[in-house]
Structure 1
């Protein structure tokens, strides 16, 4: 409107040839241009006069003046949340490096602006996940150690060195070790094992052995414990030949103990080299080091791997003659031998002997026996052994529970899997997300809707968030028992969280709705699915072009 008024003023200020207007006094008479002349073709308008007249016509009200037109009061807006409020702490910190900032000062300033309390746990999550480069990882670590929550000690360097070694950033790993030494921090045996295992896992065996020769750079003494760490890493990665060469080269330079020989003997026993294990035992006796129960256990295990069970039994009986009382490791070797050949009677015989000798079975004992029972589908025996394990206070790990549930759900209804799940949860064991998904999948197929929803609720109570697979299992389970309205509600919840179920799951639900004459509900669901798929296709297109919104 102001623009049209300005045009009116300019047009009004031009000279007119109407006689009745020439005698009319106007407040805008000062804007009139002089008459035309041969040397003057365009009227000259003073801009200050124009602005002055506009200000008189359209006055700007000040804060004290009242507006003639009062605007309605707007409702108070809720507190605005930041756009990255849904991200995890580690994702916010890693997102700083996606900005491609120039200079360490700019990166450290951006990291400080994230306003996150960084501790060792957050440090590990940032470095162990994602796809940060080696330089970015070192830059973030140097900033993190300046924060009050991350101590500048060897424990913090364990995290960065392990993360760099896992991704084979050996140049940056060695630079971090040099900076650690410059700051006056000495390494320990755990740091030595991390460095050597990183090289060995990547296939750099010779470099790992060279690292043992330059332990002064880490601040670690070259003694028997350091040698045992090197041999353990080599044998754990099946480089027992290199470990045996190191053992021979260090003879006379470093003192050997029974653990040193056991490291190499254990490596040979894993591949069934009975002759090499016997040779190690002879070298032990020649050096005046007596074999212990673990050494005899390695010998019996190697004999069992090649099927020489009778000789393994003879070695077990000869232990008592050599004043070596069998312990849990020796009994485990015999139990594992009979488990490998499927002789469960002898297996349980040695298990009962172990209990009678006041040897407490460990987690490895129960896991081997239960896994063997489940492999041959002796579910009742497996459940009985699982109860025995919990009764003796042996707490299984999260991976062990997942393996048991996965094995039980591979055949038949998941009743036995639910028994293990409930007993493990009651005893305080941690259940993994994978175990929950396996249970939900099997329950949805057999149509146990009530148990399915209760397991889903318990999963959310444990802090796990539902993903696309979980929603699909719930929808299929509800469809199988005819609870279509609840299935639609679950699908709408999944769509609200940005998950678009597969076409198979949607077709199953839609066909059941149409079969039950619920056409309107099916049509509304179709519109929502159509909109969700369009959004999903857009997201896929963005990500394919590197636009991570």
Structure 2
């Protein structure tokens, strides 16, 4: 980021008390020289960003004499800032920039508020480079940035995953006596947490305390989220407990964050206990918390409890379920094979302003397919086409997987043609489903043909693709082809996982290649993977036979000793 590099070279001139302020601080800028004060930022004027103004000011016509004309207008800077702020709020950045140019023409110098509005609008629209250019223009006009300016740019950098550049900007703030506030620290902590660098986030938090900046609930919630994301649930709980220890009150976001991860970590009782704690302290729940509770309860097999929360939400005069809420409940009913209830909720959803989404349809199609209701799944597919929705890759993958399981191969061919007509581009997940279906239906040569075509379709097989294909080859007694595919996988840099080893060992044992299976068992143990139940059962049979040499028996004994310790 050239802005930061240039700022490091010129940091000394940004002190608030500096009397001498050079006109240009930055290199590689898009601002024309001082012979013309017209800032040439060249914003893209596209319909997606905003509507083009009816009478735009032509920037190239703004000559130095026009700028020199000092005409006072009623309201002055305050008047213009209100207009710029209003336009930026509506994301009409080109029109806001035209007002900015008009200010200069009429002798009204933009101040830090003007620049902050425009820079924030550009960042919100994803035009970060333009925001940096405008920041350069701000410096050239001797308008000193404040903490709000830096926070806007810091947030933009961290949001784009440019955390190191954000850290550099953060350090420059301190060098130039623009001290970071709690918002600045929270932005940087969040950037590190989202990048999985919780250690650095905790370090920034400690630095924050040392500098006398008091952490707020947002600081703690951000750290809780970061710790949970890397699996440090207990540390997250300690962090949560610290909130009250500091005299703060956890808000609904803090509770929701921890409750969500406790559910995901299988700690159902702890999640419910925390929810009851929240109720005790009269923290008002929001729709996001209800969605987390319903989803967590249903996934833990407590569909009745989730349903109770859902009905509680329906009876609320303050909150109402959104399409996420309905999708969660429909998914829970489908997975519990309660299709009638899923349909009832689907129809209820269709009759209110929260209409079904493509996710809703896909969920119900998947539910119908799992209970053999392919005919109803086709009706849903037709219903999608009649609505304003379009079937997506998940829709077709679900349908094709089900058709293969029911051995309706002719229907698969027709669905593939429909998919092509709808302009749905298959991804690697779809091809995995298709290849798996072909293998399971005994059409392994056709599956291998599809596998070989993946690179020409701009896709590379992943570990799941290799595992599916290898399993199909073994089950169709194609040992050489399976071995060639395994070697090809290693050469291509795709490392085997636990599933790969189990597939190979089971395949080799099925083909009476016992010694080779034992060799792969040794490799699996060295790689730190374990056998599944099917592999273990097959190995017990092998151990009781008299066909093994001493070394092979020792490998098996080691395997069973390790398995016994694990269990």
TM tier relative to shorter chain: 0.3 to 0.5
Task: State which structure, 1 or 2, has the greater radius of gyration over its C-alpha atoms.
Answer: 1
Q: TM-score, normalised by structure 1?
A: 0.47
Q: TM-score, normalised by structure 2?
A: 0.46
